[in-house]
Amino acid sequence: MDAGGELARIAAALERLAPPALPPTDWLAHPAYLWANGTVQAVPALDALPLDALHGIDAQKATVHANCARLATGAAAHDTLLWGARGMGKSALVRAAVADVHRESGGALALVQIAPGSLASFPALIAQLAGQPRAFLLFIDDLGFGEDGRAEMLALRSLLDGGIAPRPAHIRIVVTANRRAIVEREDTSTAIHERDERDDALALADRFGLTLGFHPADKDTYLAILAGYLAPLGLGFDAEEAMAFAIQRGNRSGRTALQFATEIAGRAGKRL
């Protein structure tokens, strides 16, 4: 048997078994992408509420939208940290602001959400985006601070400020976190590892040019958010029932208000 022919047959067989090569990513075609450890998934339609559908966070809306608009036009823009109470619209605001600016700017801004555990591949992502004629907001949602999250927090800190590889001005980062400790400066801990974790979190927070807090809603704010969802539908609600709904879920937040508004709208045969 001819050795060369046998090797050619083996090579052909392996080629048939190998998965087809993925086409290069078109970084100009979509409003959003998902980056997961070096692989990219395009998101043809960004799942986002209209900005005016987010209630109770007017100051945060205006600030985040303005920063995204600056990024889209090529002006200086900040890396952003959104921290605070769960369910108060941090992630929803990021998506809504990018979707709004994407539409207003004719697609000049896209969102790239970073999947959990993917910070190690950040340099590869930056390399792909660096030469693109478009602005990108890299989105890290619900950054962790436990044992599993500390390494990623340190990696992100280096990427924000301190790494040797430059990050182009048309690429900015936005992070959401529920931990209030990321911005608190009073140290009441006694254990060394707790102080170290706190120092790491503060060192990370210092690297964001824009830091916005999201606080738990009081009763009046919760009811106002709820009214904001239902009034455009011509629907009212019982305040006592709304409060009981919040108590059952253990918090008053924009998310809880949206859930109760969905219940009221559903009863009336309407959609939010």
Number of domains in the chain: 2
Residue 150 has pLDDT above 50, yes or no: yes
Span 219-230, average pLDDT = 92
101 and 83 housed in the same domain: yes
Residue 183 has pLDDT above 70, yes or no: no
Confidence of residue 192 (pLDDT cuts 50, 70, 90): very low
E strand or H helix at 103: helix 90-104
Window from 27-31, 131-135, 201-205 with minimum mean pLDDT: 201-205
Q: State residue 190's pLDDT score.
A: 53
Burial environment of residue 34 by CB neighbours within 10 A (0 to 12, 13 to 18, 19 or more): middle
Has residue 6 been placed in a domain?
Answer: no
Backbone conformation region of residue 24, classed left if phi is above 0, alpha if psi is from -120 to 50, else beta? beta
Task: Give the rounded distance of the alpha carbon of 115 from its chain centre.
Answer: 10
CATH code, 60:
3.40.50.300
Residues 6+ apart with CB under 8 A from 245: 256, 259, 260, 263
Confidence of residue 4 (pLDDT cuts 50, 70, 90): low
- Compute CA distances 13 → 4, 16, 268, whole Å: 14, 5, 62
Strand stretches in 15-89, DSSP E: 32-36, 39-43, 80-84
Has residue 75 been placed in a domain?
Answer: yes
Span 191-201, average pLDDT = 52
Residue 18, number of CB atoms within 10 A of its CB: 8
Backbone conformation region of residue 269, classed left if phi is above 0, alpha if psi is from -120 to 50, else beta? left
Confidence of residue 70 (pLDDT cuts 50, 70, 90): very high
Window from 84-88, 165-169, 266-270 with minimum mean pLDDT: 165-169
Q: State residue 85's pLDDT score.
A: 85
124 and 199 housed in the same domain: yes
Domain that holds residue 228: 219-267
